[in-house]
Amino acid sequence: PVSVLFLVLVCLDLEYRVTSAPICAHGDAGCHLLSVSDLFDRVIQHSNRVHSLSSDLYSEFERFLPVRNQIGRATRKCHTSRILTPNGKENAQRTDREELTQVILRLLVSWMDPLLQFHQSVAHNEELSKFSSNKALELSDMVHELKSGVEKVAEKMQLVGIISNSLNGVFPAEASLSSSASNEARHIRDYELLHCFRRDSDKVQNYLKILKCRIVPELGC
Amino acid sequence: MSFLFIGCQWFTKDSLVSFSKAFSSKPSVLEKSLKRTERMKEACGAKCVLFLLFVQTWLVENTGHTSPGKPVLLRCRSPEKETFACWWQPGSDGGLSTNYSLYYTMEGSREDAVHECPDYKTAGLNSCYFNKTYTSLWITYTISVVAQNALGSKSSDPMFVDVAYIVQPHTPENISAELRTQDQKPYLMVKWDPPHKADTKSGWITLQYEIRLKPEKGAEWESHYAGQQKQFNVFSLHPGEVYLVQVRCKPDHGFWSEWSATTYIEIPDYFRPRDTSVWILIAVLSVCIFLILAWTVAIKCNSIKSYLLPPVPGPKIIGFDTQLLKSGKSEDMLNALGCQGFPPTSDCEDLLVEFLEVDDSDEQKLVMNEGEDDLEGRVKSSGNEVDNDSGRGSCDSHTLLLEVSNSSTKTYAQVGGKSNNEGSVRLSRKSSTNGKLLCFETAGEKTNTWPTANSSFLLARQSSCHNISKIHREACSLGNTTDMHGNISSAQSKSKEYRELHSTVSGDPKTWFADEKHAPLLPFKSAEYVEVRKLNQQSMLILKPKTEGGHKSVPPEFIGQEYTKVSGVISDRVLLLLRDTGAQGSSDTQEGKNQAVHPSLQCQVGKMVGTFPASPALEGMQLAASGYVDTAALLQSF
């Protein structure tokens, strides 16, 4: 009798076992859209965080460095300049989803290595605070997460059929890594890197929002 | 003068030429010119120089023309991240008509690809407007303004602009404030739209909003951050005031817009939270008052109760078992009383000869037995109620006993043993300001004194009727023991019984005593003894009043050798007493049983109720055919 009771309990337990299941089962089109929207919200939040981190670090570097030659700012080139990105609203809206997604992924992939090196550079910099070093590390990690998040969104969209499967392999833009000996040169290099990255993170955030409001326009646009 | 003038002019010209030539970095010419100027200097001298300077300033004053001052670029702003405009502040114009032109270069283009502003008009004076075709995001513009007039030109410091970071939207539009209520509390629901030019639908711009409001006569604004939502609820409003509401917005990273136009909304006065609070206050106060009254009543409960419903005392007879009485087996009961063969035989006769000593001293002085200690019990005193219900009968009448209300005298009637070999039962009564104590002490046959036992007799407040059987039992047992005196412990153990005894007696010993005020009614003012003569064969407890000489306040009851005897018990509550005259008895009522606190042992067979006056002055006596005496009536007559 005890064993029978035990069996019954086990069966009951099996019945009422809590499992994590997706909100929507496969095959339901409306449900797929909903989860895509959630994914978008998540990556947009991520990109927001990335951009705010980069802005903070940029301000710190700007304050920290000596008064620079302003003209030099404008002429510096970022290593991602080669990537063609829409630079206006009409241009962005004219760009199709696949290409936009591709651009986003390309940008993110291009920045993964340089940010790692940036963090190492900042970590070795005694003049900067520990706070900055932590931020740099967080920045590098978040970019990794953001990239994987966007990849998931792209997969989901391809699964659902929002975008075609024409996403080629993402070729990152190679960054020219100049190792500078002096502190000042390193500072300048990091500052310019931040300048470029801040801009690119803003691009990514903007493109993601455009994509989201184009694909799932009802919620929050 | 003119020769000098010409000569100096030539000289200055030459010097100027030479100087300019010098600046063209040709050293040999410089040497030559230097030599020449030295010669000229010798020629003209100081006068010439002075004259030259004078001429120059005169020229300037008359014409006022200089090259323009340096303009300053103030700011560049984009309202919707699609176009932007820049404004500058001109410097001094140098007196001549100066025109300003704005030049910009774009990052990524060639260094020398300088463009000029496409539109100077749209954005107003001293402005440059870039429409969509000229606006590119995420590109650094290098902008500068050049002021130029006939005499020269001046360029401003360059400004580096990335259009994505200079967004300052227009103010929000269509602000509406609506008054709503929630749980009878008013709140304001403010709604608005984003500026129509900012494209939030496509996700190009994301705006955050801030709302602020203040009462019309208020001094400071109250700001609330509303996030990205387009409505906001404002609580904490003051009724009867006009509120001003404003909204502004900001993109993700950009500048706050201006505050929108003020929206006025009036909060009507009919929301009255004050009334509610007043009512709540009143309710709370009344609840508090009620609680205080209830508490007071609870504290004084007992005294109020005794005031309103005085307890009815009952007889305290040791060894009296009410249960046996109820069962109706008189034999068993009598046996329980500790004596065989009730009515008592001669065996217990000596034990039954008990004395009821009633001691009533005026001065709070106990009628002390030798070594007797104070009895510390208290008896509740009731008011000076007179029992109007004469039908109640002797036992249940609460006026049967003396009432001492608020008397300061300590009187007590001790029922205790004295040096009475016969074992006296002393009815002790001790009263304080609050009430009376009715203590019963029974002594054994051979007891002389009863100090220890007395001391341990503590009566409960509401002592109930005695158990006569117990009394008898004790009396018998005590009589058998000779170690009454010194053994406190045994006395205490016995005292428990006595306490029980006492407790079983009606807690209203006032029924034993008449009111002191009715002086003649106080039968126990002096130590009186009531001798319990016998329990005769008629199951009667014969009480014999035993008076001591010299007590004037002896109530009439105790005058003489009269005694009453218990003729019977009616339904457990009533003790029937017979007068010695024989014709009268007491009729009892069942009145006394209303006292829940006092068990209904008031008048049971064998219990001593008290003494009854045998004087013929008992006018109120109801002489029933059965020979009962209504002691209540008796007492009333006094």
Chain A's closest residue to B198, CA to CA, is: A89
Record the tokens describing residue B34, joined without a space.
């230097």
CB contact under 8 A, B203 and A210: yes
Which candidate in A209, A212, A214 is best for mutational testing of the B interface (most B CBs within 10 A)?
Answer: A209
Cα torsion A132, A138, A140, A146 to 10°: value is -140
Supply the pLDDT for residue A148.
92
pLDDT higher for B200 or B522?
B200
Question: Does residue B445 have a pLDDT over 70?
Answer: no
Give A-chain residues touching B81 at CB under 8 angstroms: 89
Q: Which site among B83, B103, B107, B160 would you substitute to test the A interface, given the most A Cβ atoms closer than 10 Å to its Cβ?
A: B107
Residues of B with a Cβ under 8 Å from any A Cβ are 81-82, 105, 107-108, 111, 132, 135-140, 142, 158, 160, 162, 164, 199-204, 206, 228, 252-253
What's the pLDDT at B129?
A: 95
Q: Which pLDDT score is estimated for A37?
A: 84
* Over residues B209-215, mean pLDDT: 93
Least confident of A200-209, B107-116, B539-548, B585-594: B585-594
CB spacing of A221 vs B105 below 8 angstroms: no
**Contact yes or no for B253 and A202 at CB 8 A:** yes
Record: contact A199-B203, CB cut-off 8 A: no
3-state helix vs strand vs coil in chain A, percent to 5: 70, 0, 30
Mutation for B interface: A40, A68, A95, A213, most B CBs within 10 A: A213
B295: exposed, middle or buried (C-beta count within 10 Å: 0-12, 13-18, 19+)?
A: exposed
CB contact under 8 A, A199 and B164: yes
Contact assignment for B202 to A73 by CB distance below 8 Å? no
Cβ-based contacts of B111 with chain A (< 8 Å):
75
CB contact under 8 A, B132 and A221: no
Per-residue pLDDT, B325: 67
Please name the member of A70, A88, A89 whose beta carbon is closest to the beta carbon of B160.
A70
Is A91 strand, coil or helix? Answer: helix
| Least-confidence region, from A51-55, B40-44, B276-280 | B40-44
Across residues B108-117, what is the average pLDDT?
A: 82
Q: Is the pLDDT of residue A168 over 60?
A: yes
Decide if A87 and B199 are in contact by the 8 Å CB cutoff.
no
* Chain B residue nearest residue A212, CA to CA: B203
CB count within 10 Å of CB B377 equals 23
pLDDT tier, B226 (very low <50, low <70, confident <90, very high otherwise): very high
Judge contact between B421 and B614, C-beta under 8 A.
no
Q: What is the pLDDT of residue B162?
A: 92
Query: DSSP string covering A145-198, please?
Result: HHHHHHHHHHHHHHHHTSS-S------PPPPP-PPPSSHHHHHHHHHHHHHHHH
Q: Which residues from A are below 8 Å from B136, CB to CB?
A: 87-88
Identity of the residue in A73, A87, A205 whose CB atom sits nearest the CB atom of B137: A87
Q: Do B202 and A93 touch (CB under 8 A)?
A: yes
Which residues of chain B neighbour A210 with C-beta distances below 8 Å?
202-204
pLDDT bucket at A11, cuts 50 / 70 / 90? low
Rounded to the nearest 10 degrees, how much is the dihedral formed by the CA atoms of A202, A203, A204, A208? 100
CA distance, residue B209 to nearest chain A CA (Å)? 15
One-character DSSP codes across B94-146? TTS--EEEEEEEETTS-TT--EE-S-SSTT-TTEEEE-GGG--TT-EEEEEEE
Q: What is the pLDDT of residue A158?
A: 87
CB contact under 8 A, A209 and B204: yes
Q: What percent of chain B shows pLDDT beyond 90?
A: 21
pLDDT tens for B232-287 read: 999 888 888 899 999 999 998 899 999 999 988 888 776 555 667 888 899 999 99
Cβ-contact B192, B231 below 8 angstroms: yes
Quick check: B240 and B272 in contact, CB under 8 A? Answer: no
Higher per-residue confidence, B400 vs B307: B307
Q: How many helices (H) and strands (E) does chain B have?
A: 11, 23
pLDDT of residue B284: 94
Contacts of A203 in chain B (CB under 8 A): 138
Confidence grade of residue B46 (pLDDT, cut at 50, 70, 90): confident
Does the pLDDT at position B620 exceed 50?
A: no
Say what the pLDDT of residue B43 is.
61
The tokens for B628 are: 């009962």
Is the pLDDT at B191 greater than 90? The verdict is yes
Nearest to A209 among B107, B139, B203 (CB): B203
Mean pLDDT over residues B498-526, rounded?
41
Name the band, by pLDDT with cuts 50, 70 and 90, for residue A221: confident
B546, pLDDT greater than 70: no
Q: Nearest-CA distance from B165 to chain A in Å? A: 9
Q: What is the pLDDT of residues B351-372, one digit of tens each?
A: 555 556 666 654 444 444 433 4
- Give the model's pLDDT for residue B62: 62
In this complex, do A209 and B199 lie within 8 Å of one another by their Cβ atoms?
no
| Beta carbons of B202 and A213 less than 8 Å apart | yes
Question: In this complex, do A85 and B139 lie within 8 Å of one another by their Cβ atoms?
Answer: no
Give the 3-state secondary structure percentages of chain B, helix then strand then coil, rounded to 5: 25, 25, 50
- The overall average pLDDT reported for chain B is 64
Region B16-26: mean pLDDT is 49
* pLDDT for position B611: 43
Cβ-Cβ contacts under 8 Å, A51 against chain B: 252-253
CB contacts of A212 in chain B (<8 Å) are 203
Contact B204 A210 (CB under 8 A): yes
What integer pLDDT is reported at residue B314 of this predicted model? 72
Nearest chain B residue to A206 by CA distance is B204
A interface with B, Cβ–Cβ < 8 A, is 48, 51, 55, 70-71, 73-75, 77, 81, 85, 87-90, 92-93, 199, 202-203, 205-206, 209-214, 217, 220-221
The Cα B91–Cα B455 span in angstroms is 117
| pLDDT confidence of residue B475 | 42
- Residue B638 confidence (pLDDT): 45
Q: Residue B29: its pLDDT value, please? A: 61
Q: Tell me, what's the pLDDT at A190? A: 84
The residue to which tokens 């996700």 are assigned: B203
* Predicted pLDDT of residue B562: 55
Partner residue opposite A74 with nearest CB, options B136, B138, B160 = B160
Say if the Cβ atoms of A81 and B108 lie within 8 Å.
yes
Q: What is the pLDDT of residue A216?
A: 84
A73 pLDDT more than 70? no
Between residues B630 and B438, the one the model is more confident about: B630
pLDDT for A202 equals 94
Name the residue among B137, B162, B206 with its Cβ closest to that of A209.
B206
Coil, helix or strand at residue B350: helix
Task: Compute CA distances B457 → B107, B449, B497, whole Å.
Answer: 114, 14, 10
- Nearest-CB residue to A74 (from B107, B135, B206): B107
Name the most confidently modeled range: B234-238, B472-476, B504-508. Answer: B234-238
pLDDT(A110) > 80: yes
Given a cut of 80, is residue B16 above it in pLDDT?
A: no
Contact flag B202-A48 (C-beta cutoff 8 Å): no
> A-B interface: how many C-beta pairs under 8 angstroms?
67
- Strands B529-536 vs B540-546: parallel, antiparallel or unpaired: antiparallel
When mean pLDDT is compared over B109-118, B170-179, B309-318, B626-635, the highest value belongs to: B170-179
Give the pLDDT score at B218.
Answer: 85
Helix locations, B337-441, DSSP H: 349-352
